[in-house]
């Protein structure tokens, strides 16, 4: 996986455009935080897929998007992630964390939480 600061220069514009498209489609406010399933070759006119890792401050998610470059910009389609190492939902839904923590604290004297890029 590539973090947002490590994304290849030829993928920055299509990745940001894909995030904007997903936000418009879903009425969301996600920001790009990384890429999974990055194409090995520089992009050209052929369609390619990106695994977008994105967060909105509360939830982090992964979306697989097929991107087609055209004369008028990009066109997008959601596609299933093929055997993805990074799962589609990276953070629990709002409110679940507090419930889970309370349940765990009732069972144990202490708990240790490790949080890394939306996974815990």
Cα–Cα distance measured from residue 75 to residue 83, given in angstroms and rounded to the nearest whole number? 24
Percent of the chain with pLDDT over 90: 32
Band of residue 30 on the pLDDT scale cut at 50, 70, 90: very high
Task: Identify the weakest region by mean pLDDT among 2-16, 65-79, 85-99.
Answer: 85-99
Reference 58, options 27, 34, 28; nearest CA is 28
Q: Which two tokens stand for residue 52?
A: 């977008």
Mean per-residue pLDDT, 77-96:
68
pLDDT in tens, 51-77: 998 888 777 888 999 999 888 889 999
Reference 48, options 36, 57, 39, 60; nearest CA is 39
pLDDT of 84 higher than 80: no
């Amino acid at each position: 996986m590539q973090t947002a600061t490590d994304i290849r220069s030829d993928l920055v514009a299509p990745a940001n455009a894909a995030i904007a498209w997903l936000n418009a489609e879903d009425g969301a406010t996600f920001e790009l935080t990384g890429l999974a399933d990055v194409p090995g070759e520089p992009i050209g006119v052929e369609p390619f897929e990106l695994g977008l890792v994105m967060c909105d401050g509360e939830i982090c998610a992964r979306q697989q998007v097929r991107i087609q470059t055209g004369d008028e910009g990009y066109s997008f389609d959601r596609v299933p992630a093929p055997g993805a190492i990074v799962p589609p939902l990276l953070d629990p839904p709002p409110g679940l964390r507090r419930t889970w923590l309370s349940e765990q604290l009732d069972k144990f004297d202490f708990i240790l939480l490790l949080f890394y890029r939306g996974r815990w």
